[in-house]
Amino acid sequence: DAGVTQSPTHLIKTRGQQVTLRCSPKSGHDTVSWYQQALGQGPQFIFQYYEEEERQRGNFPDRFSGHQFPNYSSELNVNALLLGDSALYLCASSLVSRERGTGELFFGEGSRLTVL
């Protein structure tokens, strides 16, 4: 059973460019959350997708957008890249149930973005 998979693992972009990161959730999971982890910091919540809609959003500008597909996979898009967007981007998946709400989050290994 594959866990959460993310691609690409590393990438380098220049300021002003756009980037798309991809995430496949753990088998059986229906919810995908994205987190940004800057160097030396704890991860910060970007947004969460459930039933192909953005359900929650953290304190990130509109340059950060996302999408969830019918197969539950997800993309994170960042436009007009800034140097400060350099970070490890983590995807986490979970399964929502009426009884327990959101179950345990399983994290991928992340996509490390460097903006030059």
Q: Which residues bind another protein (CB under 8 A)?
A: 3-4, 31, 33, 35, 40-45, 48, 50, 55-56, 58, 90, 92, 94, 96, 101-102, 104-110
- Which of left, alpha, beta for 49 (phi over 0: left; psi -120 to 50: alpha)? beta
Q: How far is the CB of 116 from another protein (least distance, A)?
A: 21
Q: How many angstroms separate the CA atoms of 92 and 107, rounded?
A: 4
Q: How many angstroms separate the CA atoms of 34 and 44, rounded?
A: 8
Q: What is the DSSP secondary structure assignment for residue 25, as one 8-state letter?
A: P
Q: How far is the CB of 51 from another protein (least distance, A)?
A: 10
Q: How far is the CB of 44 from another protein (least distance, A)?
A: 7
Q: Of 4 and 76, which has the nearer Cβ to another protein?
A: 4
Q: Of 8 and 16, which has the nearer Cβ to another protein?
A: 8
Q: How many angstroms separate the CA atoms of 97 and 56, rounded?
A: 17
Q: Of 15 and 55, which has the nearer Cβ to another protein?
A: 55
Q: Of 52 and 109, which has the nearer Cβ to another protein?
A: 109
Q: Is 44 helix (H, G, I), strand (E, B) or coil?
A: strand
